[in-house]
Structure 1
């Protein structure tokens, strides 16, 4: 079974293509399931759209839900379309996000960390200015934030875990016991982590996934596609990679319920 649970589209302001185009691309890839999971609006902001390139407008959110549900019905029998969402982990606004998300019939919710302790995950310039000791402290802070997101109970999937691998040079070589503490928290919380194949630089890396398997952490796949032609990218290669590590199954979702399916069939 081929699937992809992490895709974006034009509403978020930093992806291209309509929801329909992503579904059609998935059909062209022979996929059985395609999850649409654009970024939530900034629900806590007084502005309808505080960032034109950061997320969809709050006023667009009901239209997003309606469109995906209509397309789910339209494409029934051709491909299973899933209603998902990617929500930032914002501890100070958890109750607000929880109440909004509970209003809609999502198949799954991805929780992602894009900022932690005032640090942006894309801020490689900030990272380069740190001492080696401070870099380790920052990595530990990031892992603690991931653990908090797992424990909060809002998410079914944790998105691009260990994403700092992509942006912070030398990050993977900084070994810390915080990784195992975080993975144990994820396992205890029974949350799934995705293997995110975006940018041809998969995260998490093999070391982290080996530790994840050791702790019993379940996995799924998300391309994080921001262009329709990248839907499902590297799906087969990621599956083989996981199989080589020792995984034999990964997770799919419907109606916020998880089902484990074989990786290689």
Structure 2
């Protein structure tokens, strides 16, 4: 079926997607859940991730990820997820249907993270259904559209909002409060990566410069950094110059590369 806007018939969708409820508790439920979303609106690529505090993201369903994005997803799971605004929103308790633009910092689309994990494979828009897990983090059902097919329109967003309560209830019934089992290496790796992020620039940058660097990595503009740290934009500009000089870099892309190298080294330790 071509990716074109259509009038959405909720009653028809409910009658056709009743097997979603029957799949609760079965191994095929995650795939069935994404199939139901694809039946409601045109989507190019989608996956389900659990974001639990103190643990790395857990990929629960990746069968609808475009082949050309699979390597990108694997790279995401070994460190760059620390810069992911969707993960931040899940951990902070945001819930419901949200566009990436509603979650991300003000200059996120100019960040190297965005260029590396969205633009590089032609992704033009993303919406996420964030689902609560009784205070233990949340699930992100991430749905993307390629530039060739355009952004999600208001009709499609309204459709996703209409089915979100049922989708969320089914997901909570299936996964309960513990979509991620065990502790061990996952938590240990996450702690290493978090320490690498928090200590990024140690021995080279001042504490305030390191704070500025971390916010820049997450996609904040100088104005947003100034707001977050309660300092002036001129002061942020001075910190940025110092960061570049001390790290021997001249661009945000090089800053991102240094962070990736640091995260990779921590993951391999």
Larger radius of gyration between Structure 1 and Structure 2: 2
Q: TM-score by structure 1 length?
A: 0.26
More strand by share: 1
